[in-house]
Structure 1
């Protein structure tokens, strides 16, 4: 089984015309559906995709119509390939439920269990709009406990947005990391997938393969003294699974060298 993992699309149908600050950086960026389309065209010429996982920040501002457009675009690009998503700190739950899920607005976390014959995917929402580091309450941890116990006889792939290791980014790791990892101990977790940092990273956590994928939009490089150099950069991870185990992981990262802006983020 081939699983494509992408993240941090930060999609908007139109980015606000602006010259200053973060919005000015976005205004200089190409629409992320351009590189995503190129990546999918390349992948479809090389392999068959059985599942696509998107680990949060689907949109830049959580607009209802942006979710609708993005989902329609992905369906056209991917056909019948299943898509599993989680939400990031740029996603607004109420708008996501309306635009993506085509259901009533709800502030409920978007948690899902998707079962396959040889494994299960648990998509765990550890995000909150406007809180860059993520927030999860006890009710969310209770949901995760129940989900893990429900799937205890299956290998499990866990998907979330925020990163779990302090050493992989200048951004703080998710504050719920320790409790999260404690809950995983009794279960057969085959890998943990996430995004958020916009940088590719791989390691193991307590023997569990751990993969952070590049963004599909931009990356920020820390230049010190609060200065961050933003560049267009995109990439994806491709996993091959056999009997629920990751047998191969490939990362593709594209660095066109287009500097968007250098911003003082300490202000």
Structure 2
């Protein structure tokens, strides 16, 4: 089974026309649909996509129509292939539920469990809108605990938006990271997948493979004194699952070489 993992699309049909700060950077960026379409079509030309995982920040403070439009673009490329998403700090849950899920608006956490022949996927919502670092409540931790306990007949892929390793990035990890990692001990975990940092990263945590995928829009480099240099960079990961194990991982990172903006995060 080939699983394609992307993240941090930050899509809007129309970005605010600003020249200042982070919004000014977004206004200069190419539409993330350009690399998104390029990546998905490139993958399809080489191998079959069996499952697509998007680990958050589908839009950048998007409206319901942004989610609706993005979903249709993806379906036009990959057809009826299953898509599993988790939400990021730039996703507005009300608008996601209305536009992507065609449900009534709701701010409740978006947690899902999907079962496949060789594994389960637990997509766990660590996101709070406009809280970059994320937050996981006691009730959310209880939900995760129960989900893990109930799905130990097969290996579990855990998907979050926020990264769980403290020194992985200059961006802070999820404050409740250790509480989540503690719950994974002695569980049948196939791997952990996330995004948020926009930088690719891989390691193992207590022998559990851990992957952060590069963003599908831009990356920010900390150049000191809270100055972030943004540039266009994008890519994806592909995980090949055989006999309930990860047999192969492909990483693709593309830099356009285009510098977008230096943003003073103190302002």
Distance 1:264 1:17 in 2: 18
Q: CA RMSD in A?
A: 0.8
1:193 aligns with 2:193: yes
Would you say 1:11 and 2:11 are equivalent positions? yes
- 1:86-126 per-residue CA deviation (whole Å, 9 max, x = no partner) reads 00000011111111110111111110000011110000000
1:266 Cα offset (Å): 2.3
2:37 match: 37
Partner of 1:138: 138
| Counterpart-to-counterpart distance in 1, 2:183 and 2:62 | 30
In the alignment of these two chains, the number of paired residues is 267
- Distance in 2, matches of 1:63 and 1:8, equals 16
Tell me the SS of whatever aligns to 2:157: strand
**Match of residue 2 from structure 2:** 2
Q: Deviation per CA, 1:167-205, whole angstroms, max 9, x where unpaired?
A: 221011100111101111121101000000000000011
Whole-Å Cα distance in 2 between the matches of residues 253 and 126 of structure 1?
25
**Residue 108 (structure 1) aligns with:** 108
The CA deviation string for residues 45-104 of structure 1, in whole angstroms up to 9 with x for no partner, is: 100000000000000013111011111111111101100000000001111111111011
Shift of 1:33: 0.5
Cα shift at 1:150: 1.1
Q: Describe the superposition over 1:189-226 as per-residue Cα deviations: whole angstroms up to 9, x where unpaired.
A: 01000000000000011110000000000000011111
Match of 1:66 in 2: 66
Structure 1 residue 44: Cα displacement: 0.9
Provide TM-score, normalisation by structure 2. 0.98
Partner of 1:259: 259
Match of 2:27 in 1: 27
Aligned-partner SS, 1:233: strand
Deviations for 1:7-61, whole angstroms, at most 9, x for unmatched residues? 0000000111111111111011000010110111111110000000000000001
SS in 1 for 2:256: coil
1:151, distance to aligned residue in structure 2 (A): 0.4
**Could you say which residue in structure 2 is the equivalent of 1:52?**
52
